[in-house]
Amino acid sequence: MASTSSAVGNGSPAVKWLLRVVVIGYLFLLVAWPTAYVVRHTFDDGLTGLRTALSDPDVVHALVLTVQVSVAAVVINTLFGVGMSLLLVRHRFVGRRALSALIDLPLSVSPVVVGLALVLVYNGRFGWFGPWLEAHGLQIVFARPGMILATCFVILPLVVREVVPVLEELGDDQEQAARSLGANAWQTFWRITLPGVRWAVVYGVVLSLARALGEFGAIKVVAGNVGGETQVATVLVQQKYQNFEQQTAYSMAFLLVFAAVLCLVVVALLRPKEGHR
Amino acid sequence: MSIEVNGVNKRFGDFVALDDVNVSLPTGQLTALLGPSGGGKSTLLRIIAGLESADTGTVTIEGREATHLPPQKRDVGFVFQHYAVFKHLTVAENVAFGLRIRKRPKAEVAAKVEELLRLVHLSQFAGRKPAQLSGGQRQRMALARALAVEPSVLLLDEPFGALDAKVRKELRDWLRRLHDEVRVTTVFVTHDQEEAMEVADEIVVINEGRVEQVGTPDQLYDAPANDFVMGFLGEVTSLNGILLRPHDVHLSRTPQLAGAAEGTVSRLVRVGFEVRLSVLTDDGDDVTVLLTRSHARELGLEPGAKVWVTAAAGAMAVPAMASVATG
């Protein structure tokens, strides 16, 4: 607490308490209360709400689809994210800054726009690549590849932005030492670089997984919203809610929140094992 | 010769780091690359290690052309100024790294690691993480790690630069003893002339990307090739157009020697057993003179005292601005 007070300055105790109340009140009204409300409504009738929801095949399908699309997107994004971070930090090339800026683009572009853009490029009738791909038996838009693509776009910066600062701080001393000890590029990456950034990667993965599970706009446009086929959990929540199946909507919302909290708990549990630093 | 560097040039943009450097370093010796910061000595070491590539010129290690070999194929051990320890591995795993990469049998690796940890006095820390070691211990671990793969050449880049003065001195003595024990060809970079003089068999003085002089510590100190080498290896003062060491200035209260310059003591500082004087000569030279405390007392020196100064018999001196004339 001593450091907090010195950081705030020489404010009086009253100011300190006021600041705390404002911050806690803000978080309560913005995050804690609405989330708690969802949880409370889910369990209005005990477990019946969840049970009813999970007996609906559309709900189960949407949940499974959400997990499949999210996991696929997160795996792809992690591979590319780590690769791109290495490229950005360890190499100097023309257009490096432009690439770096491009990676941040998904943060500022509305996901709905992303979805529309993907539909324009990949749709089977008049898109740039769509007709060719479809002729070769690969449907992108209104199918899983498109949904994975949209999710990848949205979570693109999350792994890179976690890994880049850690790589920068790590420096390349350890990598050079490994090279001088006889390790080739792959061994150096696998034994030295990756363990050095593993926590950043874990955080990036958890963040992008949470973001992927909750993605709505881009995936709704790309997926086409066919119940039982290309409908993901978030989209189904909206539909159920609008169809006055509130109980099911709350139950699914609860499951999404639960998954997100689970992610955070897993990270919190893993973290102390990092060793005595 | 163990390492041959021929006609190496290296530029970083407009900055010339190395300018046509030719050096040959003998097998089994401890050589220091000595020079001021930014003079190119670290760049030369990194080019030998393959961590940096030369723009032109060749590097030969133990008779093998190495100019275009990647670092892992050069058979060199490298020790970094900031240790470059593998933070996520234990001390023993750090030392074992090179052997595991080479897929040596487990028993052999374990035996070698144990032997090396004993050599660097870190046996009791084998299971610890590097973060739990002091700077000196980390650097000894890094040295053991580099020695584990039995390199033909050991390269150290300012190995003690990040350590405090006391640990520095200890490690310096220890490196000398270690080298006498292991006898691997060793090259280390330093900007500390005392460190180089104390530890090295041979010193290569590098300044502004060029080799100024190569020789044993005695040769360099007694016969510096130019005023830069002389100035870099120890304190100098100028008197009557020559450079000489402050302890080589003969000082008297009466004109005894021919050619002695007349002047007055402008400042007098006592540091331990020595007394440092600034003498302002009538010709305008500000000469620094170093005397023992008893000698100064015997002469009865005070600020403002009239004195005569000249180079002592047997003083080693070089003409001032020699490097301007040759360069």
CB of B61 within 8 Å of a chain A CB? The answer is no
Q: What is the pLDDT of residue A9?
A: 54
Report the distance separating Cα B19 and Cα B35, nearest Å: 15
CB of B131 within 8 Å of a chain A CB? The answer is yes
Report the distance separating Cα B77 and Cα B148, nearest Å: 9
For an interface test with A, give the residue of B12, B42, B97, B138 to mutate (most A CBs within 10 A). Answer: B97
Q: For A4-29, how does the pLDDT look when each residue is reduced to its tens digit (9 = 90+)? A: 444 445 668 889 999 999 999 999 99
Contact B95, B141 (CB under 8 A): yes
DSSP per-residue codes, A72-134: HHHHHHHHHHHHHHHHHHH---TTHHHHHHHHHHHHHS-HHHHHHHHHHHH-TTTSSSHHHHH
Chain A residues inside the 8 Å CB shell of B70: 179
Amino acid present at A99: L
User: B84–A181: do the CB atoms touch at under 8 Å?
Assistant: no
Q: For A201-214, how does the pLDDT look when each residue is reduced to its tens digit (9 = 90+)? A: 998 999 899 889 98
Token representation of residue B216: 């044993």
Q: For B48-82, how does the pLDDT look when each residue is reduced to its tens digit (9 = 90+)? A: 999 999 999 999 998 889 999 998 888 899 999 88
Burial of B70 (0-12, 13-18, 19+ CB in 10 A): middle
Q: Where are the domains of chain A?
A: 11-42, 56-276
Statement: residue B127 has pLDDT above 80 = yes
Chain A residues inside the 8 Å CB shell of B132: 276
Angle at A231 between CA A263 and CA A154, to 5 degrees: 50
Per CATH, the homologous superfamily of domain A56-276 is MetI-like (1.10.3720.10)
Complex ipTM over 0.85: no
Average pLDDT, chain A: 86
Angle at B70 between CA B65 and CA B74, to 5 degrees: 55
Q: What is the pLDDT of residue A160?
A: 94
Contact B54, B10 (CB under 8 A): yes
Report the distance separating Cα B199 and Cα A218, nearest Å: 67
